[in-house]
């Protein structure tokens, strides 16, 4: 009786840059296996490993192994580092928000671009050590021209990605753990406007584009991200209970967030007469008939059926504030300004953390830069005598 499988054979080359493999046919179907042999750069050692794989496969076939039925655990043990990254992303995608997942995928893309230059394209995940991760990260940093801050961010993502492999027992330790973050000097990104600049900003917007004003002060008062505000529908604004209810689909964390409306902002919402409009209208939308004829002060950033883009808001801010008013502050800095003003007004950091939807106070501290100053002043004013 003719065998259902052929005898496994090794395909090898004198040129070690060419890919070796072991192959056989099972029920006329061709199977190829590499199992990391191409990571070996010595001809004799690679041949010994390839012959060993050939013999093991032949023995498995003689014992009734059907290669059409996946051996999941064995597949895990023979994953390359690159394949393991893809596996981890696939599994983490089930629990990550869209924006976070995008960041993780970008990190994997950048890391993979450094595998060939570091000769780790065929590196098995089970053989991956800290030194490999450091070499790959250093090469990626050079390729992408990462700042130390970007390096640290991607290192954090990579650690989280590799931690997923621990959950699946694909690795018994995280090879990225223990790699130190690079030193980053404290920066003041999104520097808030000064009090004098705020006066100019108010006057400029109220005079030139008054409907834009409720939008920008909503960033200041609520800490809601500029893009999220453009997704804000009238039905999400509860003036009776002085709160905004942001559904999971428009928040960065993919969780519902309740944001209180203070009396300053509430008065502006009341002046917008939101109750007379369709509750599905965007609070800061557009009622323009033609979208390609430029912004109109009475038809944009008003309750409307059309949603405006983040780029539209940024361009209007750039025109009114950066170009025409010559004030070099970003619209996003209003969130930082709001945080600073609230801390100076006596609002606790934990209350601010909840308002901004942060999971930790450390994140909130990035916005409220005056906290250290307030703490120092309290030490000066409230320290007891000896």
Of the candidates 48, 69, 90, which is a domain's last residue?
69
What does the pLDDT read at residue 1? 66
Q: Measured between alpha carbons, how far is 141 from 149 in angstroms, rounded to an integer?
A: 11
Q: Which residue has the higher pLDDT, 307 or 372?
A: 307
Task: Determine the Cα angle at 190 with ends 184 and 325, to 5°.
Answer: 145
pLDDT exceeds 80 at position 277 = yes
Same domain, 202 and 104: no
pLDDT 10s digits, 158-205: 999 999 888 887 888 899 998 999 988 655 556 888 889 999 999 999
Residue 386 lies in a domain: no
CB 37 within 8 A of CB 18: no
Same domain, 216 and 268: yes
Strand order in the sheet with 282-286: 300-304, 282-286, 306-307
CATH number of the domain bearing residue 314: 1.10.443.10
Q: Which structure tokens are listed for 60?
A: 């498995």
Same domain, 125 and 252: no
Same domain, 210 and 352: yes
pLDDT exceeds 90 at position 38 = no
pLDDT 10s digits, 278-302: 999 999 999 998 877 789 888 999 9
Residue 178 lies in a domain: no
What does the pLDDT read at residue 73? 47
Of the candidates 27, 49, 69, which is a domain's last residue?
69
Q: Which structure tokens are listed for 263?
A: 């009396």
Residue 95 lies in a domain: yes
Number of H helices, E strands in the chain: 15, 9
Residue 87 lies in a domain: yes
Q: What is the DSSP string of 123-183?
A: -BGGG--HHHHHHHHHHHHHHHT--HHHHHHHHHHHHHHHHHHHHTTS-SS-TTTTPPPPP
pLDDT exceeds 60 at position 379 = no
Neighbours of 231 (CB within 10 A): 20
Residue 180 lies in a domain: no
Same domain, 214 and 349: yes
Same domain, 229 and 354: yes
- Residue in this structure with the two tokens 């804000």, named with its chain if needed: 232
What does the pLDDT read at residue 172? 83
Q: Which structure tokens are listed for 216?
A: 């920008």
Mean pLDDT, residues 305-319 taken together: 93
Q: Measured between alpha carbons, how far is 249 from 95 in angstroms, rounded to an integer?
A: 14
pLDDT exceeds 70 at position 65 = yes
- Residue in this structure with the two tokens 């893809």, named with its chain if needed: 86
CB 219 within 8 A of CB 301: no
Same domain, 199 and 131: no
Domains contained in the chain, number = 3
Residue 75 lies in a domain: no
Residue 177 lies in a domain: no
Residue 266 lies in a domain: yes
Q: Measured between alpha carbons, how far is 332 from 80 in angstroms, rounded to an integer?
A: 42
Mean pLDDT, residues 7-15 taken together: 94
Same domain, 46 and 90: no
Question: For residue 131, what are the domain limits?
Answer: 81-167
Of the candidates 18, 44, 69, which is a domain's last residue?
69
For the chain, give the mean pLDDT.
86
Q: How many residues does the chain have?
A: 386
Q: Which structure tokens are listed for 372?
A: 């250290």
Same domain, 287 and 364: yes
Strand order in the sheet with 243-246: 237-238, 243-246, 257-260
Least confident of 96-100, 249-253, 360-364: 360-364
Alpha-carbon distance values, 93 to 26, 104, 155 (Å): 35, 9, 18
Same domain, 45 and 85: no
Same domain, 362 and 224: yes
Q: What is the DSSP string of 320-345?
A: IIIISS-----TTHHHHHHHHHHHHT
pLDDT 10s digits, 24-35: 999 999 999 887
Mean pLDDT, residues 119-127 taken together: 90
Could you tell me which of 384, 183, 211 has the C-alpha nearest to residue 308? 211
CB 39 within 8 A of CB 124: yes
285: Cβ contacts below 8 Å, ≥ 6 apart:
230, 301, 302, 303, 304, 305, 306, 307, 308
Mean pLDDT, residues 226-250 taken together: 92
Same domain, 25 and 107: no
């Amino acid at each position: 009786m003719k065998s259902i499988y052929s005898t496994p054979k090794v395909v090898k080359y004198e040129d070690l840059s060419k890919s070796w493999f072991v192959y056989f046919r099972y029920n006329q179907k061709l199977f190829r296996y590499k199992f990391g042999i191409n990571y070996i750069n010595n001809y004799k050692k690679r041949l010994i490993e390839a012959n060993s794989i050939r013999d093991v496969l032949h023995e498995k076939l003689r014992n009734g192994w059907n290669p059409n039925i996946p051996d999941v655990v064995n597949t895990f043990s023979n994953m390359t580092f690159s394949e393991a990254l893809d596996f981890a992303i696939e599994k983490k995608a089930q629990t990550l928000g869209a924006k976070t997942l995008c960041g993780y995928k970008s990190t994997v893309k950048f890391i993979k671009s450094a595998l060939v230059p570091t000769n780790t394209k065929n590196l098995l995940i089970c053989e991956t050590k800290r030194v490999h991760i450091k070499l790959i990260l250093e090469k990626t940093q050079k390729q992408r021209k990462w700042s130390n801050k970007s390096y640290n961010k991607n290192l954090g993502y990579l650690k989280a990605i590799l931690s997923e492999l621990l959950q699946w027992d694909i690795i018994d330790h995280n090879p990225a753990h223990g790699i130190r973050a690079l030193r980053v000097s404290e920066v003041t990104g999104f520097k808030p406007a000064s009090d004098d600049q705020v006066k100019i900003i108010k006057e400029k917007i109220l005079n030139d584009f008054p409907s834009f004003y409720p939008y920008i002060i909503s960033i200041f008062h609520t800490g809601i991200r500029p893009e999220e505000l453009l997704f804000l529908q009238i039905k999400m604004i509860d003036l009776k209970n002085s709160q905004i209810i942001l559904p999971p689909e428009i928040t960065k964390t993919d969780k519902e967030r309740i944001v209180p409306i203070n009396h300053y902002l509430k008065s502006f919402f009341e002046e917008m007469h939101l109750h007379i409009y369709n509750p599905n209208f965007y609070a800061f939308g557009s009622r323009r008939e033609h979208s390609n004829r430029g912004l109109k002060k009475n038809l944009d950033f008003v309750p409307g059926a059309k949603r405006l883009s983040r780029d539209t808001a940024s361009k209007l801010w750039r025109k009114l504030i950066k170009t025409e008013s010559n004030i070099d502050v970003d619209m996003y800095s209003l969130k930082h300004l709001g945080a600073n003003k609230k801390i100076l007004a006596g609002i606790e950091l934990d209350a601010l953390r909840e308002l901004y939807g942060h999971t930790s106070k450390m994140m909130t501290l990035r916005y409220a830069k005056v906290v250290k100053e307030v703490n120092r002043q309290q030490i000066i004013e409230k320290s007891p005598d000896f």
